[in-house]
Amino acid sequence: MVTTPPITFSLAARDGQARAGILNTRRGTIETPVFMPVGTAGTVKATRFEVLEEELDARIILGNTYHLWLRPGVDVIRACGGLHKFIGWSRALLTDSGGFQVWSLGALRKISEEGTEFRSHVDGSLRFLSPEVSMEVQAGLGSDIVMVFDECAPGKATHDEARASLELTARWAKRSREKFDQLQREGCDTGSIGFSLPADTRGSTVTGNIALQRDCPTGELAMPALPEGLTGAQSLFGIVQGAAHRDLRRESLERTMEIGFDGYAIGGLSVGEEKSVMWDLVDEVAPLLPPDRPRYLMGVGSPEDLIEAVARGVDMFDCVLPTRNGRTGQAFTSRGKLNVKNAQWAEDRRPLDESCRCSVCQRHSRAYLRHLHQTGEMLAGILLTHHNLAFFLDTMRRVRQSIRSGYFPKFRREFIDRLSESGE
Ligand SMILES: [Zn+2]
């Protein structure tokens, strides 16, 4: 039986392990490898959506289940017709499951078979997140790519600890899959496009959402036409865990693939382990993932990390570095990082990056950006974030081009060499 999928992924070119692909989602086409700007609380900080869409041409951004669930709450977002309508973004959205954020709370959380109990960082209230709750929240958000609820073992976890965590993650992945499928059948996905359900399975939630969407002032967003061959439903990605143990990573991968997902993520990396450990594990896992599904390395990373991961066959990335560092005065450039605070830029009329074509580099000097930063002007964070996102997204465009044209190894070598010619 041929079933219609929620997303499709095809490879346009390969160069060594590096892949250039086309990911079709219900909200548009995404060329991979792709960097996804992080929109933690429903905003890519300091960046307007018009800019993300028009000048930066970001095709997909991230939302955080944990943050949006606590504030404003999924009921508010549901009442406003889902996350796309609430924030005013009609392109693709990926939401994480909240698993990583809850894990990051450390002593403030208690993990059991059922899920994770924790204290909200917003108001101190006791909250409970489980695979089922996470799937319900992500259906309410209506994101296009949903992540399973996982447990993240620390990078230095012993074999026994990592195994226990892997086993729990596998059971949670199965529960996530079952709840996700049920919610899709019941029509609880607020972002659904053209996904028609048999009359007898339509839940009251569907009617409720439609009525509420009419009342919401932000519900004017034009719905994209559903690309041919897609169901219009949400897609679900599984996550491979196993800490720093190669055998456990392999086992986690097999068990995740057994359940079956639309895409596969490698989780629990870039959490304090040595870089060499991370690359060993990606080397181990990536070639074993199904070649016809997108591969996502969660929370990675710096420009050089992106290039190194692409060289190992990874297709999707997210990281807070360009936005977070932009707000603290750090620019990523083709010649390495540049800190605008440094006195050496006080009268420097050059742009942040002489080879960057972004609108900030076309208009403003390092001297001006330094002045804005030193005087605490909010425009400093806005302009630096813009340049950083432009640099990350443009780097990925060049990566894709180099793979398609068969010179990725040369591009990789030259890109990494140039990064060490720091402007400072
Ligand atoms: Zn620039």
Ligand 1 centroid to residue 333 C-alpha, Å: 8
pLDDT at residue number 210: 36
Residue 315 has pLDDT above 80, yes or no: yes
Ligand 1 centroid to residue 143 C-alpha, Å: 30
Q: How confident is the model at residue 17 (pLDDT cuts 50, 70, 90)?
A: very high
Ligand 1 centroid to residue 367 C-alpha, Å: 14
User: What one-character-per-residue DSSP string does 112-165 give?
Assistant: -SS-EEEE-TTT--EEEE-HHHHHHHHHHHT-SEEE-------TT--HHHHHHH
Q: Over the stretch 176-228, which tens digit does the pLDDT of each residue have?
A: 999 999 999 999 999 998 755 444 444 444 333 333 343 444 446 777 788 88
Q: Over the stretch 142-188, which tens digit does the pLDDT of each residue have?
A: 999 999 999 988 888 999 999 999 999 999 999 999 999 999 999 99
- CA end-to-end distance (rounded Å), the chain: 60
pLDDT at residue number 227: 86
If you average pLDDT over every residue of the chain, what do you get? 92
* 3-state secondary structure at position 32: strand
Q: Over the stretch 260-313, which tens digit does the pLDDT of each residue have?
A: 999 999 998 988 788 999 999 999 999 999 999 999 999 999 999 999 999 999
Ligand 1 centroid to residue 60 C-alpha, Å: 20
User: What six digits make up the tokens of 220?
Assistant: 């004017």
Ligand 1 centroid to residue 58 C-alpha, Å: 15
Ligand 1 centroid to residue 122 C-alpha, Å: 35
| Strands 295-297 and 316-319, bridge-based pairing | parallel
Q: Within 243-377, where are the H helices? A: 246-259, 275-285, 303-311, 321-327, 359-363, 366-374
User: What six digits make up the tokens of 408?
Assistant: 């990725």
As annotated, the active-site residues are: 96, 318
379 membership: H or E segment, kind and range: helix 378-404
Question: How large a percentage of the chain has pLDDT more than 70?
Answer: 92
**pTM for the structure as a whole:** 0.94
Ligand 1 centroid to residue 401 C-alpha, Å: 20
For residues 23-46, give the mean pLDDT.
97
Q: In whole angstroms, give the CA distance from residue 366 to residue 176.
A: 48
pLDDT at residue number 107: 76
Ligand 1 centroid to residue 337 C-alpha, Å: 13
**Furthest C-alpha separation in the chain:** 70
Q: How far is CA 12 from the centre of its chain?
A: 22
> Which residue ranges form the domains of the chain, and what is each CATH number?
64-221+228-301 (3.20.20.105)
Q: Over the stretch 357-415, which tens digit does the pLDDT of each residue have?
A: 999 999 999 999 999 999 999 999 999 999 999 999 999 999 999 999 999 999 999 99
For residues 119-145, give the mean pLDDT.
95
| Strands 116-119 and 109-111, bridge-based pairing | antiparallel
Ligand 1 centroid to residue 329 C-alpha, Å: 14
In a 10 Å sphere around its CB, with 0-12 CB exposed, 13-18 middle and 19+ buried, how is residue 144 labelled?
buried
Contact 297, 278 (CB under 8 A): no
Ligand 1 centroid to residue 392 C-alpha, Å: 10
| Strands 92-95 and 145-147, bridge-based pairing | parallel
